[in-house]
């Protein structure tokens, strides 16, 4: 495969941030996938396999500093081998995070430097505008642009009204409907796939993310699996992977997300729910919860029929989750701070003991 940096998404931003590493003789490369701390990379020298340098490993107190799929890194390839060491992760233009398994408050970056996100929803019984709203809040916070993709048009009798329903919550986000089983069926998607740009696919298990990739590249590269009637126990795709598309552009296949956790801040939420927020600015109290207070413009709009009640409930729920997360993070920060001072105090005491 003929790989050059531009087709991999290299631009001035990365080039500027790479200059100090270029001087030291490092090469730029992009992470395509990771498996138990072994990284697979695309570079101008072809595909490389790499490990992170001890320096990164020891410095990483949070998982955030480890490279993620889509990251640009500075590597030192071993002469004559396809092996390399990763010395640094370049700053990201966008990133997606989730909670580190077993932690409520620690962030782990799962994909980086994504330009566009296809939020995939199925037009079968997977269809769920509330879930789309959640994804939108998440993406507005990531630095990437969303596109809403309604897949499986062949299984839906009333595609037009579904599109209209989603357009109501989409604001300026484009909404397209496709059938991933056919080459012609994915035509509307293709206009969003541009050379050097990176797309990520987000959506629950079984919506057809891997099928979209297979139809785009023209062969069954990714495993796909029929949706079970109880829709449990799926997750056909188990690893994230950055794939170079023959038409230019790159796409990241991701495992279906069971329940999307909020890892966005209030800004992302406000952008995704601009209509609700705009209306809330007319509430009598600036900290109105829109649940019980008098003079609530949001509740009045629901009654008038200009705001959708389910959408407002969804907004309130996500806002509570974000506040809950912030509280946990603050508590964790306080505990860490306390532990730091305690350590310092102990150290000072032992130094003093040595003195006298």
Ligand X SMILES: Nc1nc2c(ncn2[C@@H]2O[C@H](COP(=O)(O)OP(=O)(O)OP(=O)(O)O)[C@@H](O)[C@H]2O)c(=O)[nH]1
Binding mask 187-226 for Mg ion (x = CB under 5 A): ----------------------xx----------------
Task: Report the relative pairing of strands 198-202 and 107-112 from DSSP bridges.
Answer: unpaired
Shortest spacing between CB 211 and Mg ion, in angstroms: 8
Q: Which helix (H) or strand (E) holds 84?
A: strand 83-89
Read off the tokens for 326: 């912030």
Q: How many CB atoms lie within 10 A of CB 206?
A: 22
DSSP alpha helices (H): ranges in the chain? 12-23, 54-59, 129-140, 159-170, 187-190, 209-217, 266-272, 274-280, 297-304, 309-355
Contact call for residue 235 and Mg ion (CB under 5 A): no
Contact call for residue 209 and ligand X (CB under 6 A): yes
Residue 146: contacted member of Mg ion, ligand X, Zn ion, none (CB under 5 to 8 Å, by partner type): none
Rg (CA), the chain: 23
The correct pick among 227, 266, 277, 300 for binding ligand X (CB under 6 A) is 227
Residue 234: contacted member of Zn ion, Mg ion, ligand X, none (CB under 5 to 8 Å, by partner type): ligand X
Contact call for residue 237 and Mg ion (CB under 5 A): yes
Shortest spacing between CB 321 and Zn ion, in angstroms: 19
Contact call for residue 296 and Zn ion (CB under 5 A): yes
Contact call for residue 211 and ligand X (CB under 6 A): yes
Q: How many CB atoms lie within 10 A of CB 323?
A: 11
Helix (H, G, I), strand (E, B) or coil at 71: coil
Under rule CB under 6 A, which residues in 102-161 are in contact with ligand X? 151-152, 154-155
Shortest spacing between CB 21 and ligand X, in angstroms: 35
Q: Which helix (H) or strand (E) holds 242?
A: strand 241-244
Shortest spacing between CB 215 and ligand X, in angstroms: 8
> Please, which residue, 216 or 302, has the CB nearer to ligand X?
216
Contact call for residue 236 and Mg ion (CB under 5 A): yes
Within 13 Å and on the Cβ side, how many CA atoms surround 137? 28
**What span, in angstroms and rounded, lies between the C-alpha atoms of 148 and 277?**
21
Adjacent-strand bridge partners of 111: 69, 96
Residue 298: contacted member of ligand X, Mg ion, Zn ion, none (CB under 5 to 8 Å, by partner type): Zn ion
Residue 58 φ then ψ, to 5°: -80, -30
The correct pick among 112, 147, 176, 179 for binding ligand X (CB under 6 A) is 179
Shortest spacing between CB 229 and Mg ion, in angstroms: 18
Query: Which spans of this chain sit near ligand X (rule: CB under 6 A)?
Result: 151-152, 154-155, 179-181, 203, 205-211, 224-227, 234-237, 255-256
């Amino acid at each position: 495969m003929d790989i050059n940096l531009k087709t991999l998404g290299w631009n001035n931003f990365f080039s500027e941030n790479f200059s100090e590493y270029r001087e030291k003789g490092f090469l730029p490369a992009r992470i395509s996938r990771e498996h138990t701390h072994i990284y697979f990379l695309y570079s101008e020298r072809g595909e490389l396999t790499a490990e992170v340098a001890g320096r990164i490993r020891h410095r990483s107190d949070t998982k955030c500093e480890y490279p993620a799929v889509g990251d640009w890194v500075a590597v030192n390839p071993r002469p004559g081998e396809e092996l390399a060491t990763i010395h640094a992760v370049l700053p990201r233009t966008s990133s997606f995070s989730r909670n580190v398994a077993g932690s409520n408050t620690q962030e782990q970056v799962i994909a980086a430097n994504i330009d566009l996100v296809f939020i995939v929803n199925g037009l079968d019984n997977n269809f769920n505008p509330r879930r789309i709203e959640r994804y939108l809040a998440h993406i507005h916070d990531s630095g990437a642009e969303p596109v809403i993709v309604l897949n499986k048009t062949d299984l839906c009798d009333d595609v037009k009204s579904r599109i209209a329903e989603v357009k109501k919550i989409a604001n300026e986000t484009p909404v397209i409907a496709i059938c991933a089983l056919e080459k012609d069926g994915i035509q509307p998607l293709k206009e969003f796939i541009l050379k050097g740009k990176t797309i990520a696919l987000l959506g629950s298990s079984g919506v057809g993310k891997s099928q979209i990739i297979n139809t785009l590249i023209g062969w069954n590269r990714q495993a796909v699996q029929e949706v079970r009637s109880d829709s449990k126990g799926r997750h056909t795709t188990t690893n994230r992977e950055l794939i170079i598309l023959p038409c230019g552009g790159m796409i990241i296949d991701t495992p279906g997300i069971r329940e999307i956790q909020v890892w966005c801040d209030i800004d992302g939420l406000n952008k995704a729910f601009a209509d609700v927020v705009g209306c809330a600015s007319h509430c009598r109290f600036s900290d109105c919860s829109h649940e019980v207070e008098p003079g609530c413009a949001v509740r009045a709009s629901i009654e008038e029929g200009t705001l959708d009640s389910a959408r407002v409930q969804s907004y309130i729920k996500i806002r509570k989750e974000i506040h809950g997360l912030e509280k946990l993070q603050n508590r964790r920060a306080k505990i860490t701070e306390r532990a730091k001072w305690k350590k310092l105090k102990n150290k000072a005491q032992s130094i003093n003991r040595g003195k006298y």
